[in-house]
Amino acid sequence: MESFPDIIILAGGFGTRLQRVVKDVPKPMAPVDGKPFLEWLVNYLSKFNPNKIILSTGYKHEIIEAHFGKSFKNIPIVYSIETDPLGTGGAIKKALNLIETENCLVLNGDTFLQIDHLNFLNFHNKSNALFSMALKPMKNPARYGTVETDGDAIKKFNEKNPELSEGLINTGVYLMNKSIIKHFPEQEKFSFETDFMELKTGEIEMKSFITDDYFIDIGIPEDYKKANDEFPNLFN
């Protein structure tokens, strides 16, 4: 099986909203049916045979390092550690320096999208885009904000709107060419969403890959409980 590109997982989250149910571990290490959420995620990604996985860590990073070590199912694991929080953009920028492949998959360590990443990669390669994003149609998407598209081109990012009945949400799953780093802000610390994606829409080509696959974000206690209920059956 041909090797999939490098993968960056953003796993530096503190998990403020989860503090009443999960304490003393980074949010991606919250236990789900007896295993850290991040292990479920890495295990799923291992099916695609990535070249390596880069864990972008911060808060209590030593807990993640102790759990995963230097490899998982023969896939090398390396760490990009933030000593000070850099924001989502700063974390990606720092981790991109460890990329060895032309493209890389970037995703969040506290969300899971059951997507076929090979299909996503084929789409990205055929489109020759610097940046592709997986979007999911969702009813009542107030919690997420929505994305407007024209064909497969991303045109606009909209703020959260409690009155919206449906829309396309950003799942936080991206494929990007490593040369994208030259379009990032110069500063070390920035938000990937507001300081890069929203500002650069129209300036660089951003493609949308729409999928209705299973998606969950464990950032709130209700969905964390849902993951505990659903994951055992989801992966059997």
Record the pTM.
Answer: 0.95
32/30 Cα distance (integer angstroms): 6
Which tokens sit at 230? 């659903």
pLDDT in tens, the chain (236 residues): 567 999 999 998 765 656 666 677 888 999 999 999 999 999 999 999 999 999 999 989 999 999 999 999 999 999 999 988 899 999 999 999 999 999 999 999 999 999 999 999 999 999 998 999 999 999 988 888 899 999 999 999 988 878 888 999 999 999 999 999 999 999 999 999 999 999 999 889 999 999 999 999 998 888 999 999 999 988 76
User: HSE of 40 in the Cβ direction (CA atoms, 13 Å)?
Assistant: 28
What CATH class has 6-234?
Answer: alpha beta
Q: 3-state class of 147 per DSSP?
A: strand
Q: In the chain, which ranges are E strands?
A: 6-10, 31-32, 35-36, 53-57, 71-72, 75-81, 103-108, 111-113, 131-139, 146-150, 153-158, 166-177, 206-210, 215-217
